[in-house]
Amino acid sequence: MEWALVYTVVVITLIAIVLDKIKSKRRTRERMAWLKDVSTEAAPSTSMDDEVNDIYIAGLKHHCTDLDIGTFSGYVFNEKNNPADPEAMAIVDNKKRKIIGYVPAKILDDYRDWCSGKKRYCVGYIYWDGEYLRGRCRVYPSLDEVPEIEEDAVEYITQVANHFHWDLNEDGTVK
């Protein structure tokens, strides 16, 4: 009787593994299908380009999965409790309440000078380039001009969504 139970568990586990592999390959094919029509060469531009800081997001592979592909709004802050680097500037998705990545180390000093080490609002996007998750975000210098920032953020995310052929929900997230 015990062997029958062990055998059943092993068979169910193997079936689950095979189904997961099939599902994973299907997701990869679906990603590649829409990627062939997408160009990621030009970053969207808006009316606030001189005042904002457009940056690549580092460390996505440690924090994100394909479920995070799409747009986000959040903030950038100094993660002082980061064991690897207390100077690290983390990028957080407000809706998911999680760190999605970091300001790249090679521009960290310039970024910290620009933002004075303070928490800043950002909007951005994560996409699949066929091999890796990639991401960019637009960081705003202050929240003093909220109407202009909101207008620019909406324009930026709309351009990104159009670029990637994403349909957006009313809150700016990808459908």
Per-residue pLDDT, averaged over 44-53, amounts to: 62
46 pLDDT tier (thresholds 50, 70, 90): low
Q: Which residues pair with 121 in a beta bridge?
A: 75
User: Would you say residue 119 has pLDDT above 50?
Assistant: yes
- Residue 107 CB burial class (10 angstroms; 0-12, 13-18, ≥19): middle
Question: What distance in Å separates the CA atoms of residue 97 and residue 33, rounded to the nearest whole number?
Answer: 30
In the Cβ-directed half-sphere of 28, how many Cα atoms lie within 13 Å? 9
172 pLDDT tier (thresholds 50, 70, 90): low
Question: What distance in Å separates the CA atoms of residue 29 and residue 13, rounded to the nearest whole number?
Answer: 25
Question: What distance in Å separates the CA atoms of residue 74 and residue 105, rounded to the nearest whole number?
Answer: 20
* Helix/strand/coil for 7: helix
Which CATH architecture group holds 53-164?
2-Layer Sandwich (3.30)
Per-residue pLDDT, averaged over 14-40, amounts to: 55
| Tokens (6 digits) for 43 | 């970053």
Q: Higher pLDDT residue, 12 or 157? A: 157
- Decide: 120 and 110 in contact? Cβ < 8 Å: no
> What integer pLDDT is reported at residue 13 of this predicted model?
72
The domain ranges of the chain are: 53-164
Mean pLDDT, the chain, whole residue set: 78
Per-residue pLDDT, averaged over 65-91, amounts to: 90
Question: What distance in Å separates the CA atoms of residue 7 and residue 10, rounded to the nearest whole number?
Answer: 5
Least confident of 49-58, 112-121, 131-140: 49-58
Q: Which residues pair with 96 in a beta bridge?
A: none
Tens digit of pLDDT for each residue in 80-116?
Answer: 888 888 889 999 999 889 999 999 999 999 999 888 8
User: Would you say residue 32 has pLDDT above 60?
Assistant: no
